[in-house]
Amino acid sequence: MKQQRLNKILQEMERQNIPQMLISSPASIFYLTGKWIEPGERMLTLYINTNGDKKLLINELFPVNAIEGVELIWYKDTDEPIGRLINIVDKTKVLGVDKFWPAHFLIKLMERNAAAGFVNGSPIIDRTRMIKDAEEIQLMKDSSRINDSVMEEVIKTLSEEYSEKKMVNILAEIYENKGADGFSFSPIVAYGANAADPHHDSDSSKVQKGNNVIFDIGGVRKHYCSDMTRTVFYKEVSDEHKAVYNLVREANLTAIDKVKPGVRFCDIDKAARDVIENAGYGKYFTHRTGHSIGIEVHDFGDVSSVNTEEVAPGMIFSIEPGIYLSGDIGVRIEDLVLVTETGVEVLNKFTKDLIIVK
């Protein structure tokens, strides 16, 4: 067990009067145990109790060696794991349940009055996971270092011969060569007007002279995600497009400049949004400014106009303003940033100068 992480969660459980909890998200189980187990539809549940009890209910199909400090409770496909769980849970106390635990498991527990009450336990874990510890910060830096180098290489690969889809295949190979364990999300490669859709599905389009090209890409390294976006131009760039690019870059830099402990997420969003709004493009910046990231590419907590929470040292999130002009162009520039004791450290080092690929 990662004892310090567990202690933070147990303290918060005490504070919120949730004495016991079921954790089922593979990412949260990994966070606490260092083991990544993908159970599919089978029940995998870590039970923790503020009295020190820790049990992992796990199907025999998943070979896991001992986890220090946790009792492993194995079941077979022919067993009824809910019955086992009912013997573990203290029915006189409230039970925190993972937000994504399948309803059919939860309903059975509720029908059998397995606890004195059922509450969503995930906010406690999500909020703990928002603040990365030293080990996680190093892993996030390593992951982003790979992403920087993938970005450099993929931009060089750009060619009129390759469709967006082909570029995604090339990206898979580059990540593998650079030591990543795959994508952290389905990459977005978008040429020209396709980039005006912020979530464009890469298709058979080919790049043409004068196109803008969005690369929104990320990999996983030792279970930690990277995520970065750059917009480049192919062969040439018009003055109008250059102006849009410079505006988005200014929004990105202004928002990053704002980041330090105590600033609210909504203030960071506003810093980016003001730059774009003041230039008259406000309605074309259609999404939030960023999201937390870590073991999952979208961790809990976003950089948006409605999140009034303050940022704190150890948080890592994206800053990714964009401008999307339908039928014409999309520009997005995204970096991951780490909140430090005194300010901010940008995890992505790849240049934001305007690049024209020749």
Binding site for Mn ion (CB under 5 A): 227, 318
CB of 187 to Mn ion, least distance (A): 11
Q: Is 209 exposed, middle or buried (0-12, 13-18, 19+ CB in 10 A)?
A: exposed
DSSP letters spanning 263-311: -BHHHHHHHHHHHHHHTT-GGG--S-SEEE-SSSSSEEEEESTT--PBP
CB of 19 to Mn ion, least distance (A): 37
CB of 318 to Mn ion, least distance (A): 4
Residue placing its CB nearer to Mn ion in the complex, 116 or 297: 297
Buried b (16+ CB within 10 A) or exposed e, 165-196: ebbbebbeebbeebebeebbeebbbbbbbbbb
Residue placing its CB nearer to Mn ion in the complex, 194 or 292: 292
CB of 340 to Mn ion, least distance (A): 21
Residue placing its CB nearer to Mn ion in the complex, 21 or 316: 316
Closest listed residue to residue 267, CA positions, set 309, 299, 229: 309
Do residues 218 and 147 lie in contact, with contact meaning Cβ atoms separated by under 8 Å? yes
CB of 216 to Mn ion, least distance (A): 7
Q: Which two tokens stand for residue 63?
A: 């070979």
Residue placing its CB nearer to Mn ion in the complex, 136 or 227: 227
How does strand 322-325 pair with strand 316-319?
unpaired
Residue placing its CB nearer to Mn ion in the complex, 49 or 318: 318
CB of 195 to Mn ion, least distance (A): 15
Do residues 239 and 226 lie in contact, with contact meaning Cβ atoms separated by under 8 Å? no
Residue placing its CB nearer to Mn ion in the complex, 47 or 285: 285
CB of 332 to Mn ion, least distance (A): 9
End-to-end CA distance of the chain: 52
For Cα atoms 170, 241, 228, give the angle at the middle one, nearest 5 degrees: 40
